[in-house]
Structure formats: C-alpha cells, structure tokens
Amino acid sequence: MARPLARSAASSSPTSVVDAYLPASGNTGYRVSRYDLDLNYRVSTNRLEATTTITAVSTEGLARYSLDLAPSLRVSKVRVNGAAPGKFSHKDGKLRITPRSPVPAGAPMVTEVKYSGRPRPVSNQFGTIGWEELTDGVLTANQPNGAPTWFPCNDHPSAKASYRISVTTESTYAALSNGLLRSRKTHAGTTTWVYEQPEPMSTYLATIQIGSYTLHDVSPSPVRLRAAVPPALRSNFDNDFARQRRMLKVFTKLFGPYPFSGGYSIVVTEDPLEIPLEAQCVSVFGANHCDGKRRSERLIAHELAHQWFGNSVTAAQWSDIWLHEGFACYAEWLWSESSDGPTAKEWARHYWEKLKKEPQDLLLADPGPKRMFDDRVYKRGALTLHALRTRIGDDAFFALLQDWASRYRHSIATTDDFTGLAALYTSQSLLDLWNDWLMSKPLPDLP
C-alpha cells in the first residue's frame, strides 16, 4: 500500500532525485559494492586526514558522476581506476567527477578520494547530524544524512555495501566501528584499529566512536556481546545492561538468528545524549542512559531490535521509515511481555489512548520528511503491528516476522513488500487493516 518508489540508482539518469524526502542526498548511475576507509584523526585538534576507496560498477554510461561529501572537508586528490580524472569539483555537498573517458554501462569503477579537514556535523530539520565532538572524543550520528560529514559516499539507505574501516588516533583513546576488529597496532603514540563489516550496510549505519573507553566482553556466545564504557560507569553498566543477553535470546526466538557475523557492541559515552544512536552492529548510549537504575531498558531493547529491523532489513525509501521504527518500538513491548512487565496488549492500550489525544494528521505510510522521526510514527507503527497480530493470531504473526527478517536479510524492502508477505499468512483480506492504519490519517479503533 506504499507510494510508487522513486527510480533506483540502477535505472536513473545521473540527475535524478533518488529520494524525495532528501532530494540532495544520494546519487545515480552506479552501484557501490565496497568502501575502504583509511581515517587518520587527532582528537586534540579535531583534524582528519583520510583516503576513501569506493568500489562500484556503473549501471549506465557515465560521462560524469557524483558522491556526497560535506563542504567542511577539502578534497586534494581523486583517482578513477588508478588514473587521475579529467577533472573534479567539490561544491554544495557534492563531489562531481569527470573521468578522462566516459565509463560504459556495466564497467568497474574504483574511485579513490584523498581529503582532509576539521569535520563538523550538519544542522538541519533533523537536528545535529554526523561527526560530532564530545567533551573528550568523537561520535558519529549519521541518520539520515550525516555520513558525508566524514566520508564520500552514495548516501541513501538503499545503497548498501561492505566496509573496511581503519581508524588511526591517539593511543590514549579507543576507536570503535562496525563489524569485526581485524587488527590493532600501536606505533609512535598512535594506534590503528581496523574493522571489517562484510554484510551490506547503508551509509547512515556506518559509525566511528572514539573515547577513553574500557573495552570488555559481556558475553562470548552465541552472539559476541561487547561493551565500550568509561571506567567510572562500569558498575552502572553492569546493572543497567545486565539483561541484554537474555534480551538477545528473546529476540532471536521471535525474529530469527541475529543477522551479523561481527557480534554486537554497546558504547556508553561520558557525555549525556538526548537519544541513543543506532548503527549496524553497534548502539550508542549516553551517560544519562547508564545511571545504575535500569531506567533505559526499553531503549536498550529498541536499539537491539534495529539490528533486524532497519539494519539488516532496510527501508528502500525514507518514506517507509515505519518499517524501522514501528518494528523496533513493538520489540520494546515484546521484551516487556517476555520479561514479566506489561504485555504488548497493555502497552498498545496505553499508547493508543495517548495517540488519540494527538493531532490526527499523520499518514504512517508517507509521513513526509518533516515527520520522519515523529514519535507518532514509532507508536502508530507499533500499533499497526499489534493490530495485525490481533487479526491473524500469534502463530501466524511471529512466523511472518521471521519470514520477513529472513527473506529480506541484508537487503531493502518496502511497505508493499511487507503487506504482500503478510497476505500469505492469512486467508482473510487485510486491505481494511492496511487502509485504516497505513493509508488513513484518523487513528483507528484499537482491536
């Protein structure tokens, strides 16, 4: 029941808009398969010197193509397939590259970009996005369009690729990124940390976290759980995140196997954060979420659930954001139900009554860019899933969730994909449910 999608990068002209919600982000004409990032950063001066190598294939003949890269970074060198291009320009957040010879459709494209500068976040309607200095360290909060603040990329959730991320910084700090830590080497006061993320990842889910952290394993199996925590917060962490292993077992039972080979890491910053931050294989919490009183457990559940819904199964367009946030919000209720808290039915009643008092002007299947992260998208999305569960029953509902997580594992999907798959799990029509909850603004009655 979703809107027609904008044409993908595989079939659009280089001037096409990839996503109407963020028309300045994303690029067409090629498909990236891998990013290799070599980042040399000094916390003391907020100075980044970096080289990013992007392996791609053209999807059409290209006389010119572009990458997203923030204006705060200065490009000093570009090479295409090992040779200098005819020319390149960097303006208004776009690095435009003209190869010496046009790239034919289906040809390999290896683009190497050398750049430097003092990275800073962008401020827009979504808040402060991207590379952000902490009191003593750095975090990146990319969603939805902050990745270009620290590396050139095709910045759209549908443009997934594998990554190798190397970070060199002062040895007094720990550096964390996505996936498996492949190596850590120290030389002359700096340490280089190399991470490998083999499963496809959207640019907004790539992350760098640098701080005075103590690293420790929470659980070695069946999924490796790791933590990066300031020493002063270790005892709080041990209390507040104590049930994380149990939470992982519950979600694995409900949603299917954990989708990533690199395990799962939690970062707790010394600074307070307004909200936790989502990344692939990593979640980031502020000191205020780790106060020793276990008051943020629903947020811990929410961010863990995103590994299935948002990170592995990713919305093809930002307009389908409820497929991320509605699912992760419903996972909060499922965790509560599984851990002797209020049931999902009780949470549904609670939030239905709250939403009933809110303006009835949000269309869940197309909330618009200004309301992508409106709390009503989260709660109405969760209520939509609860309405579906009530209609088709628990056995069918949880079989559907596992099928959804498996069928679109490491891929992209749309609202139409979900409603189409749900139709296979019941003999009754669900059109009225989708029309009421997804395609109409008034809040339907609670089932």
pLDDT at 10: 35
pLDDT in tens, 83-132: 998 899 999 999 999 999 999 999 999 999 999 999 999 999 899 999 99
Average pLDDT over residues 189-211: 98
* Residue 267 near residue 218 (C-beta atoms within 8 A): no
pLDDT > 90 fraction of the chain, expressed in percent and rounded? 94
Report cis status (omega within 30 of 0) of the bond before 272: no
pLDDT value at position 220? 84
Name, in order, each residue with C-beta under 8 angstroms of 67's C-beta and a sequence gap of 6 or more.
27, 54, 94, 95, 97, 111, 113, 152, 153, 154
Q: What was the pLDDT predicted at 221?
A: 78
Task: Given CATH 1.10.390.10, say whether it is the number of domain 313-437.
Answer: yes
The reported pTM is: 0.95
Average pLDDT for the chain: 95
pLDDT band at 312 (very low <50, low <70, confident <90, very high): very high
Say whether pLDDT at 3 is over 90.
Answer: no
User: How confident is the model at residue 8, as a pLDDT?
Assistant: 33
What backbone torsions phi and psi does residue 353 show, to the nearest 5 degrees?
-65, -35
Average pLDDT over residues 161-170: 98
pLDDT, residue 12, reads 35
3-state secondary structure of 57: strand
Give the start-to-end residue ranges of the domains of the chain: 313-437
The residue among 387 and 11 whose pLDDT is bigger is: 387
Structure confidence by residue, pLDDT tens digits, 19-49: 999 999 999 999 999 999 999 999 999 999 9
pLDDT digits (tens, 9 = 90+) for 316-351: 999 999 999 999 999 999 999 999 999 999 999 999
Contacts of 429 (CB under 8 A, 6+ apart): none
3-state secondary structure of 298: helix
Give the pLDDT score at 132: 97
pLDDT of residue 382 exceeding 70: yes
Nearest 5°: the CA angle 347, 353, 357 is 140
pLDDT of res. 180: 96
Average of per-residue pLDDT across 397-416: 98
